[in-house]
A and B are shown apart, each in its own frame.
Chain A
Amino acid sequence: MQMTMRSFFIGLALAIAFALIGYEANRFVAYLIYAVAISAIGALSLNLLIGFCGQITFAQGALVGVGAYAGGILGNAGWGGLSLLGAGIFGALLSMLVGLPALRLRGLYFAISTLAAQFILSYLFKILVPWTNGVSGLVVKQLSLFGRPVASDQEYAVICVALLFLSWAFIGRVMQTNVGRAFLVVRESELVARGMGIDVSQTKLKAFLLSGFFAGLCGGLFAFTSRLANPEAFEIGLSVDQTAMIIVGGLGSLAGSLVGAAFVTLLPEAIQRLGELLPSADLISAFREMAFGILIVLFLLLEPRGLVALARRLGARREGPSSSVARSGTGVLQSGVAVSAQNRRKL
């Protein structure tokens, strides 16, 4: 899904709108806004890697954690706004490290190596006590921007929405350069990419670099808004959450990342409200997880292109049969039928 001038301005308008709402609203709404914004940055970074470049990874949780710890440590050391930049840089560096095996290993094996990276990094968060403060978690001081501490949820909401907009615009623009185009070709077929003269290894590394930067940024914001970097928050569960966001929202779709993030972040809140009818907290949390699991399965079965494609399909149906061209809902994930089924046999 390309970012056109029109969608850029729509995005800008929405960003301004949400920033204003976030600034004026009460604490809870402000919290919801920045929670969704932060998750959305994470979802964008993951979509860049999985959706746009086709590199399956499970290490997202750990990379967000790297950003959280880096941001927290730098923030505590007085780096101010630059600690967010630092969080991104550390995220990018670790991401490239995690991605190195991708240059030599094929899809499934690489995915498993990222699983290992996730567990190893999670473990390191817990035992490198001098840096991370281990299982107790690292207490993070308030973010200070240009000398001023950012104190309220509302201010964080504005900052997070702004950073989300910038991230979205940047990634969208990248997808319009040759680098971004190369991502897409590498995703479809490395053989064709090579034949077109694309340096596949470099392309993959660039994808990891960019994705890691935004994962780190997500983590940094996470640390500052929760004032704590806690290893339990960056385990495989977070990887699963953000992967669910991009699948539900739409793999390879910019808007889908945002929609998916909103959906997955707000769903537990919604169920919490409904669940207040139920006797125990455990039961509520159980039903929330059950709904989560079912939704993941249902989406993958029925609308693998995510909510964005679903919306487009419903919109097309309203306009009439003549308007839905070749762009039906089961495009990307089920195209290349013979290729992916065959590859699985061969694996």
Chain B
Amino acid sequence: MIALQLAIAGVAAGSVYALIALGIVLIYKCSGVVNFAQGAYAMLGAYITYFFLHLGFPSIVSVLAGMALMALAGMITERLILRRMLKAQIVSVMMVTLGLLIFLKAACLAIWGPDQIAFPQIFPSGAIDFAGIFITYNYVAAFALASALNIGFLLFYRFTSLGLMQRCAADNSRAALAIGIHVSNQVSIAWAVSAALAGLGGTLLASLGGLSLGISDIGLIAFPVIVVGGLDSLAGALIAGFLLGILEAFTEGILTPNLEEFLRSVSNVQSVGALQQVIPYALLVLMLLLRPQGIFGRRGAERV
């Protein structure tokens, strides 16, 4: 039954990874930029939500406030910074998002300090008993909420007219302009939505594991997700998010202990450390070597 427990934990984590990755893919499709600051958005969203909770606002209000403010932050980032850098090289734009990451992390450090903070309960406490495994409402709610938003977003993107405009603007901005779509507005919207989703993701992570600056590291797990899923595929981000969440859980739960036992018996190596953090990257490398466009991405742009 360990397998099932791990699968559940993995799926819950994976749904949040998908949320973050979705945002990165959205921005990538629109701006051609990989947003290093996405993890920082998640972290900031969590801290802002905590701020409102701390003031005594009800859970729903706080979470929504967090998302709204993050949407604003995303839009500001795009307007103030990205728009000025349309002509710059990719390395410059990626470095700018990196600089933003550094700045936001430091700002949160300055305001809230370096220590982990216990995140207030936003979901009812208790657990459900599923086939002998206890799953806290926290996990269930995190999974449900993240999945709802993931799928909801995909549906919105696919079936609404605003989603259609987003797709047009992302696919071919010149053509979109020609048919009257306000492309720069669409790009702002994309950034706003991505940041909001990231903010929610951060809040969910905080509710599961506590609030700390380390939440921004989730931006890093997003890379294997988007490469495996396909840099320009939203559905790919979703599926890859789950896959990698489960992979991580299984690595931590099964592979690591067994591997360590084996290694201790044949060599001096005592532990394999944070193997579950590295395995996604090994998978990333494998993917780039064998199928660079990812599972769902479009062929063409990756090879020289």
Contact = CB atoms under 8 A, between A and B. Distances in A.
Q: In the complex, A touching B, CB below 8 Å? A: yes
A50 B91 CA distance: 9
Interface in B225-284: 227, 231, 267-275, 277-278, 281-282, 284
Interface stretch (A23-31, A87-95, A154-162, A292-300): A292-300
13 contacts: A109-B302, A112-B227, A113-B284, A119-B281, A127-B269, A130-B269, A240-B102, A286-B106, A294-B103, A301-B96, A344-B32, A345-B32, A347-B32
Interface stretch (B12-20, B66-74, B109-117): B109-117
B107 A290 contact: yes
A112 B288 contact: yes
Given A105-B288, A113-B288, A130 B267 contact: yes
A287 B103 CA distance: 9
A344 B98 contact: no
Interface in A283-342: 283, 285-290, 292-297, 300-301, 304, 333-334, 337, 340-341
Contacts of B102: 240, 289-290, 292-293, 296
A116 B277 CA distance: 11
Interface stretch (B82-90, B129-137, B145-153, B195-203): B82-90
A123 interface: yes
Nearest to B170: A345
Interface residues of A, number: 56
B268 A297 contact: no
Interface in A272-291: 282-283, 285-290
Given A130-B267, A190-B304, A286 B110 contact: yes
B272 A340 contact: no
A104 B95 contact: no
Contacts of B220: 119
Contact of B272 (A50, A101, A103, A127): A127
A148 interface: no
Contact of B302 (A105, A240, A295): A105
A138 interface: no
A282 B285 contact: no
Nearest to B108: A286
B106 A126 contact: no
Contacts of B109: 282, 285-286, 289
Interface residues of B, number: 61
A106 interface: yes
Given A120-B282, A128-B269, A300 B85 contact: yes
Tell which of B102, B220, B269, B303 has the most Cβ of chain A within 10 Å. Answer: B102
A301 B88 CA distance: 9
B206 interface: no
A293 B110 contact: no
Interface in A80-132: 101, 103-109, 111-113, 115-117, 119-120, 123, 126-130
A289 B93 CA distance: 19
Tell which of A126, A286, A293, A301 has the most Cβ of chain B within 10 Å. Answer: A293
Contacts of B114: 282
Given A112-B284, A300-B95, 17 more contacts: A56-B94, A103-B304, A106-B304, A108-B231, A109-B292, A127-B272, A130-B267, A247-B92, A282-B113, A285-B109, A290-B110, A292-B102, A293-B104, A293-B106, A300-B92, A344-B31, A344-B32
Contacts of A304: 88, 92
Nearest to B114: A282
B292 A129 contact: no
A128 B271 CA distance: 9
A194 B272 CA distance: 45
A243 interface: yes
A333 B92 contact: yes
B99 interface: yes
Contacts of B211: none
B81 interface: yes
A6 interface: no
A340 B90 contact: yes
B289 interface: yes
Contact of A126 (B100, B268, B273, B302): B273
A340 B92 CA distance: 11
A56 B98 CA distance: 14
Ordered nearest first, which 8 A-B pairs have the shortest CB separation? A293-B103, A296-B99, A344-B32, A289-B106, A293-B102, A286-B110, A290-B106, A286-B109
Given A105-B303, A290-B110, A347-B301, A297 B96 contact: yes
Contact of B99 (A50, A56, A300): A300
Given A293-B103, A301-B96, A287 B271 contact: no
A130 B264 CA distance: 12
A116 B284 contact: yes
A244 interface: yes
